[in-house]
Amino acid sequence: MDRECVSLLPRVFEVLVDSGRSLPDDTSLEKLLDWFTGHTKAGGSLLEAYPCLLEFISTATNKTSSDPGVISFALKLSGLIAATEDGFSLLQECSVLDLAFNHQRWHEAGLWEDPCIRIGWIQGLRSMLQHSNALSFFVQADFIAPLLQLQTDTSLFVASAANQMLAHILLSFQPPSSAGCNGVDKKHGDDKRTETPTADAEHPGVTMETSQDYTAVVVAISEYLKESLVPKENTRLHQSLQILKLLALLLAQARPPLRDKLLRTVADSLEELVTAGYSQLTLPLMDIILAAYSSSSTGECVPDQLVTHLLSSMLNVNKPSDLIHAAAAFFRRGRPDTVHTARAVRILLLPLNIITGQTLLGTNTAVEEHQFTMVEQLKSKTPCISMICVCLTNTPKVTLMPPDLLPCPPVLIVTAVLSLLRICSGDSPSSSTGCPEVFRNVIGSGKVQKCALEALTGLSSSPGVKDKLIEVFTVLIQYLDNPDSDPTVLHKSYQALVKWMSVCKDLSSITDNLRQDLIEVVKKRVCHMRWEVRDSTVEFLGKLSGVLTSAEEGACESSAALLAGCCSAPLLRAALQDPESYVRASAISALARTSANSWRRGAALTQEQTDTVSRLLEILSQDTEGFARRAVVRYFIAWFSSRSSHTSPLSRTSSSSSLLMSSVSSVLSLGSADLDWEVKVHTLELAELLLDEAFSGHPGYRKGSDTRHGLPNPYAVVSDQNHTLHTHSGTHAKGVESDLAGVLNNVVEQGVISALLSSLVDCDRPVGLKACQLLITLRETVCPLSLEASDATAAMATVARVSCELPGWGWGRELRKTLGMEKCDQAKEADVSAQGRFSGADVVASEGCGEMGQAGVSEGGGSARVGVCEVLRSLGLDARLAILNQSSDHVHNSPLSLLQDILTASAAHAHPDTQPGQEVIVDCY
């Protein structure tokens, strides 16, 4: 904060402690606290910088009639100041801490019932507890008891803050140790013993004096956890849930001494919870077990034995739904463990085994004791769908496990998932060995279908499953052809089909009948009445084209056959006329994918391509929705990128390349004038590509940080003339700059400069920022401050003669104001009126026009031609970039603005003549 802020603070604090002038919006206090916190983090002393803080805290905490929000702010501020030992000592000397954090006093004043007071008390203490003096104060004041009571506060915000506070105390002050069992330091070798710690490297304020206070805290918290874990009645389950979350947080971060102490203390309570079978606590219990399991040592320690016993108990609970969820939790996060992992895999496959009748569990009978209870549970629809979805979600990862942990080959799991998909669609053979009583729960279930399709997509990468391609193809086409399939199910069917075809690139095994079935179903779905279906189908055509064009050479013939039949370009061109903008956008993206191969090969231009480009330019100029217009610009970006990266110099003179370059100017002109800021940013990306190609190889040009365009193409050409880029030194300087002038002139003719200048003054900050960055790059390339060559003046003059046009309206008029050309224009008009002999192309050099006018400003039809280099030097791009890099609210989002708003808002709030609707809103987040 500057001096003006410091001078305003006493008045602001006077307003805050005045109970009759409370703020209409107390979130401004949080913002003010943020600035004080930032000052502290920077290493400054709050009391030295703002002496009035002490008086404010003392007054606010003494005056129980103050606004609760102000008191809460004062408590947080007290903790922030007391976070340093000097600040703590000063507040203690003034008896501020004893008064501020005396919770009993706030009880008696009737303020403790307000959650913001409790939050302020908790957060203030947490900020303070950074050194041993603060911990001693906390213990001696017996604050641990109320803090434990707040763990299950009725306010979730208070309970969460209290949880975090307890974790902060235990974890911040724990002694540093990497010791394993019996004091063996596993980090440094078995022959070293851990020594009694004297300080924590991460918390230098922790000393030996803290040990007794910390031990008392650990004992109190451990006993509280032990007593509170097991609910006395079902209505108190939420309390157990909160305690379990806290314990999981502690065990995940605690070091061995603390972790072992906590585990030993709560082990019996955890065992009681496991055997009690509270389904709501299954996942929180697994979080605790896995947190301890992941951090436990490898030795035969008592805590490790406790964790292993608890884990075994959880993987053997009687409720099938709890059993499945416990197995899934361990499988996702558990440490590799042969015994427990193998059991978890069999548990997860059990529902799929029961429903489909596939022999997924092999001869192992480890989980057969749960078969009967699980069958009974699967007969109920809700638990059935839940369990089978958990099973399906984990099957792809199951198949990637080592073979010795799998009860069956991965291909058998794929077979089971396909069987389940058939059952869901009502196509279950009478000879199936599955459980018919369970079939009715999954038939037509969209949730199960979507999970199964996602699993099938993931299973495509499993070892040894490529032989299932025909069967997968058949089931997926059946789903695509099913009139009852939900749009989301269709979308996931398309995704699975693309994934399997990308993995199984040899499509020679696909029969002609299947190919024809796919063609017919796609033609039908692309005309579906629901736009979501049409959109998924069009998106599929684009993705499939990408898969097929990247197929191995040996599969080219079969790929081409499928591509010609299914990825038909006419379908995509027809979709450009779709009434839904999402579909039009997807069609444009798909067309870019299907055209990528011909772009790379530099294929000859066709009439269809010409018609498509005309339609795309029409969409860019007339479409009312931004999605399609954005896709059009991205289409040309993809086309230009493919041309720049893959084609030879000869292919760039082809008719296709000529069509692209003739369209670029229109895209730049239309895109930079679009109302959608994303369209304008994409247009600038295209302009950047043009700059990259134009100046590629020039020693003064540097690309931006975005490397998606790859390395500069050494064969890039920038105009009809062959410009050879020389080194930027010695007697070649003139040739370089003369050549540079031709390159720059070509960029101007393409419309790149106009697009950049119009975007520079755009009202959308991302647009202006991108344009400014590109203009600075261009300025540093074509307008260097000096040249080493002796003939630099003549060379620079050649570049300086390159000009561009500024229109007399809109962005051109705004830039002309910035460049100080208005006086020039007025002088010219006066000369024309008085003398009547100047043509529209004459150069004006009147007094007061300055350097811009003298450099060559010509006007005709309301527009003006200006030198590109002079414009780039005169726009103040560096200063503009600094402003654009600031946040959009940088002017108002400041300490001074906030303090002024607080004073103004409080004055208006207290004024008796304030009319409704005239309140001043505080500038805060």
The 10s digit of each residue's pLDDT in 63-105 is: 888 888 889 999 999 999 999 999 999 999 988 999 999 999 9
Q: Is a pLDDT exceeding 60 seen at residue 311? A: yes
Predicted local distance difference test score (pLDDT) of residue 897: 80
For the ranges 91-95, 275-279, 532-536, the one whose mean pLDDT is highest: 532-536
Q: Is a pLDDT exceeding 80 seen at residue 730? A: no
Long-range Cβ contacts of 225-233 (<8 Å, 24+ apart): 225/262, 225/265, 225/266, 225/269, 226/265, 226/266, 226/268, 226/269, 227/269, 228/151, 228/152, 229/266, 229/269, 229/270, 229/272, 229/273, 230/269, 230/272, 230/273, 230/276, 231/278
User: Are the CB atoms for 116 and 158 separated by under 8 Å?
Assistant: no
CA angle 393, 398, 403 (to 5 degrees): 170
pLDDT band at 39 (very low <50, low <70, confident <90, very high): confident
pLDDT tens profile 405-429: 899 999 999 999 999 999 999 887 6
User: Are the CB atoms for 490 and 428 separated by under 8 Å?
Assistant: no
Nearest to 509 by CA among 545, 455, 561, 458: 561
What CA–CA distance (Å, rounded) separates 696 from 710? 12
Residues 6 or more apart whose CB falls under 8 angstroms from that of 175 comprise: 196, 197, 200, 206, 211, 255, 257
Cα Rg of the chain, angstroms: 36
Predicted local distance difference test score (pLDDT) of residue 599: 84
Global pTM value: 0.80
Q: DSSP secondary structure string, 490-557?
A: HHHHHHHHHHHHHHS---TTS-HHHHHHHHHHHHHHTT-SSHHHHHHHHHHHHHHHHHHHTS-GGGHH
Predicted local distance difference test score (pLDDT) of residue 177: 59
Predicted local distance difference test score (pLDDT) of residue 432: 62
What percent of the chain is modeled with pLDDT above 70? 77
pLDDT tens profile 66-77: 888 889 999 999
Helix intervals (H) in 576-695: 581-601, 607-622, 626-646, 655-672, 677-694
Average pLDDT over residues 540-568: 60
Q: Is a pLDDT exceeding 70 seen at residue 842? A: no
Q: Is a pLDDT exceeding 50 seen at residue 705? A: no
What percent of the chain is modeled with pLDDT above 90? 44
Nearest to 315 by CA among 294, 292, 334, 296: 334
pLDDT tens profile 329-359: 998 887 767 888 999 999 999 999 999 988 8
For the ranges 4-13, 649-658, 724-733, the one whose mean pLDDT is highest: 4-13
- Paired with 859 in beta bridges are 864
Residues 6 or more apart whose CB falls under 8 angstroms from that of 633 comprise: 620, 667, 671, 679, 682, 683, 685, 686
Predicted local distance difference test score (pLDDT) of residue 820: 79
Q: DSSP secondary structure string, 568-586?
A: -HHHHHHHTT-SSHHHHHH
> How high does pLDDT run on average in the chain?
80
The answer to which of 21-25, 247-251, 501-505 has the lowest mean pLDDT is: 21-25
- Paired with 858 in beta bridges are 843, 865
Q: Is a pLDDT exceeding 60 seen at residue 912? A: no
